[in-house]
Amino acid sequence: MVAHDTALALMQLGAVFFGLGLLGKLAARIGMSPIPLYLVGGLMFGKGGLIELGGNVDEFIHLASEIGVVLLLLLLGLEYSASELVTGLRNSWAAGVLDLVLNATPGILVALWLGWGLTGAVAMAGVTYISSSGIVAKVLADLGRLGNRETPTILSILVFEDLIMAAYLPVLTAVLAGAGFLAGMKTVGIALTAVTVVLVVALRYGRYVSKIVDSEVREIFLLKLLGSALLVAGIASSLQVSAAVGAFLLGIAISGSTAHNATKLLEPLRDLFAALFFVLFGLSTDPRSIPPVLAWAIALAITTTAAKLFTGWWAARRAGASRYGRARAGAALVARGEFSIVIAGLAVSAGAVPTEFAALATTYVLLMAVLGPVAARVVEPLLRKFDNRTPSPPDQRVELLH
């Protein structure tokens, strides 16, 4: 009986992996992020879907998805040095605050209107607020805009969002746990202290942290990286700070060539485990619960798309970008993806939000992960068509520089 269960679990898990590969290939072929397709795959094989997976496979995917969240945040931290974070915060705080207010507010209002209380409002604020840095980076690279004048503005806003997440996730964790005001403030204090200490350590002693983790042997390097990431994430989780924040801070502390090599080494693992995380969230969502919240998801998509467009336009104008550069900056920020699902996953796994929350978050991210890349591609042609004119040669040269 045990052998039969193991064989069945292996076949189901193999089918999940193979199916994810096919979905990823399809996404690459049509030029979109695979996240929406992974969520749809989870919807098909979860409760209320076409086929429901067995308990053993579900348990494995749950553990793997937790590792996926840790790797997502670890690699995000590896992308930044402490000095880049400090500089980005200094340069983008005004646009970052505007971004926070305009995009978190719709999520809060909808959650309160639906009667989900403070817990639902805090969680939904994060879902609608943060852009998908992974999708944004891919779109900028695919469209050849990494050297554009508005791109540093886009990246600085993303850096600000990531720093906000370092403070937000502990708050969310405390709210989900039902902690009181004093306990919640204690958790936030610990998180902010940890962020400050890590930034100071990374600025002054980052090379020593990198040296401890680094190794010329890939196997040893990988074991050290994974071991330290899971260890730090576990310690952070035990302090009610959030495992994701712990992994993010570790990534910041690792710098230089060690960070570059770690990114190349961990990216395939990140993609694998993160894919399972998106599938798990889809598994936890009953497709039959989506139609009742579809109108709310569309309303949030329209509102927050307009909010991101305005934020990017305003920030890029302050940086001296052209009209088309401002439009490109706003459209680039539209996409939501991995971190919105991470936030929603924390809320759902804690059992602190109603079942409709998962349906709304899934539908919203599906819409935004598809809409974001499309908006980035069409916003400039649409603006030029609206202007109803062709740029003169001098303007054209300026646009090439921008």
Cα dihedral 24, 29, 34, 40, rounded to 10, equals -80
pLDDT computed for residue 401 by the predictor: 45
| Contact criterion met (CB below 8 Å) for 71 and 229 | yes
Q: Is the pLDDT of residue 53 over 70?
A: no
Q: Which domains does the chain have, with CATH numbers?
A: 33-387 (1.20.1530.20)
Q: Is the pLDDT of residue 398 over 50?
A: no
Q: Residue 268: pLDDT band by 50, 70, 90 thresholds?
A: confident
312 phi and psi angles, rounded to 5 deg: -65, -40
pLDDT computed for residue 165 by the predictor: 80
Count Cβ atoms below 10 Å from residue 120 Cβ, excluding itself: 24
8 phi and psi angles, rounded to 5 deg: -65, -40
- Distance from C-alpha of 317 to C-alpha of 173, rounded to nearest angstrom: 36
Long-range contacts of 233-237 (CB under 8 A, 24+ apart): 233/70, 236/194
Q: Residue 400: pLDDT band by 50, 70, 90 thresholds?
A: very low
- Distance from C-alpha of 339 to C-alpha of 249, rounded to nearest angstrom: 16
Q: Residue 113: pLDDT band by 50, 70, 90 thresholds?
A: very high
Residue range 369-397: average pLDDT?
74
**What whole-number percentage of the chain has pLDDT above 90?**
18
Q: What tokens does 304 get?
A: 């927050």
State the chain's maximal CA–CA distance in angstroms. 76
- Contacts for 162 with CB less than 8 Å, ≥ 6 apart: 76, 80, 85, 133, 248
**pLDDT tens-digit readout, 297-338:** 999 999 999 999 999 999 999 888 888 899 999 999 998 987
Residue range 65-82: average pLDDT?
77
pLDDT computed for residue 102 by the predictor: 95
Residue range 61-81: average pLDDT?
77
- Contacts for 45 with CB less than 8 Å, ≥ 6 apart: 16, 51, 52, 53, 279, 282, 283
Q: Residue 180: pLDDT band by 50, 70, 90 thresholds?
A: low
- Distance from C-alpha of 39 to C-alpha of 46, rounded to nearest angstrom: 11
Mean pLDDT for all residues in the chain: 80
Q: Is the pLDDT of residue 109 over 80?
A: yes
Q: Residue 389: pLDDT band by 50, 70, 90 thresholds?
A: low
Amino acid at 88: G
